[in-house]
Chain A
Amino acid sequence: MASHAHSSHDHGHGHAHGEAHPLVGHLVPYSTLFATGAALLVLTVITVAARYVDLGEANIYLAIGIAVVKATLVSLFFMHLRWDRPFNLMVLVGSMLFVVLMMVFCMMDVGQYMDTENKGNPKAVQNYLDANAPFAPVTSKK
């Protein structure tokens, strides 16, 4: 059999005795898959529970932080990035960098003129509120 038909990845370990061998690609052990799934569920429970605890500013960072950990687990293990070519990971991370770029520049711009914007309801909204909701807010509460 021509030797170049095999992939260069190690797909020897991870498959049980008697299991078929994939022609290409890498086999992830069941233990890894179930462990990752369990970790994701546990992290979900933690992050929901944390919502009811008041940590002030830290709440959002904790929630995003746990989300990043969950995302990393999904990418590395479910999506095989742990065993794939590094270029695939670079593609994923690279695209996220551009999202960050867009976010940073736009937020910098908005942040500069945020304080000069008018507060309160726009006129169209205010008209509705006046007509239909007599006790609705006239001003915004900060």
Chain B
Amino acid sequence: MSETDAAWIDAALTSARPQAVGALLRYFRNLDTAEEAFQNASLRALKSWPQNGPPRDPAAWLIMVGRNAGIDEARRTRRQQPLPEDDQAISDLDDAESEIAERLDGSHYRDDILRLMFICCHPDLPPTQQIALALRIVSGLSVKQIARAFLVSEAAMEQRITRAKARVAGANVPFETPGAVERSERLAAVAAMIYLIFNEGYSASGDTAEIRTRLSEEAIRLARLLLRLFPGEPEIMGLTALLLLQHARADARFDAQGDLILLDDQDRTLWNQKLIAEGLALIDKAMRHRRSGTYQIQAAIAALHARAARPEDTDWQQIDLLYGALEVVQPSPVVTLNRAVAVSKVRGPQAALDMIEPLAPRLSNYFHFFGVRGAFLMQLDRNEEARVAFDRAIALANTSAEAAHIRMHLDRLMRDSKPPGKKAGT
């Protein structure tokens, strides 16, 4: 890779994008204008950088060029009066200009990027639109790439993004620097959006695996970016750690046919130790703050799995405690259900079953509930009841992939819960 390579320029444009689009949005206060201005600047970069060499600060260069392009565009379309002198002074592109750009933008860097991300996860937008908008605007993925990841047509995705933009344009997003409370609310919304992007990628399999892996990697990139802007936020450390620790298992999660391999059956030598090291380091840092939160707890659970060289080395007792803590901050029957799995390993299937029985009314349409319940029943040799639960689970699967996943999960549980010496199928 040399500095004038298309791949090099592409990486430079990608990494500069959040800051540059964020700054251009602050100037123009319009998402489309900002995006077009960045697009124009990128085209200029593709022409200029191979000839003149890349600028020392690509983001500052792109902001300058993009800003000028946007102003020119506005002049053309609105036949505005020429702009005042000091705007002329920053129309050239030497190093002095970069310094101006830096002065203009350095102080805004954090809030520009946070605002850009926050607009994408505006509460008026449904999650599907939030993710699509963020991948388009912040990450710079093409509409085609995003459409492939979500298994919809390009036209449908284009429409989804256009709708999302129209909605945020009418939603009056404030442009002034947010106060502490609002900033922390924005941070939480952005963290949730990044987690959504990751989960889209995490459920990848089959034909879309490649593009959806890209989503997971993109989520990690955004999480690291956010953490760099807010280095002392334990929940952002927790979020980043959670994504890293889960993504570390990516190469072990699917077999050659693209079918999911469960945690206990994964070849742990395929886990990415570099990502695990980074995740564990972040969890360590987060814990020092003693300000617990849902991402940190989930990351701590993932960390315990990551630390176990073999499935039987897993510290289920600690996982049970962590799920207990998660139940306190984020009470949900699904969390309790997950906790029950840990309880079954620590205190046996009867205790686990007792724990989930009260959840039945609320999880009567949740296939995992019946899968897990069936497994506990089987371990208790209540095979007839177990079979009923398994049948119910399979009937509740929403997609064929889900059904296959559940069926495999169930097969495995059935196999495991057979006492030794007993023949399968009896």
Partners in one complex: no
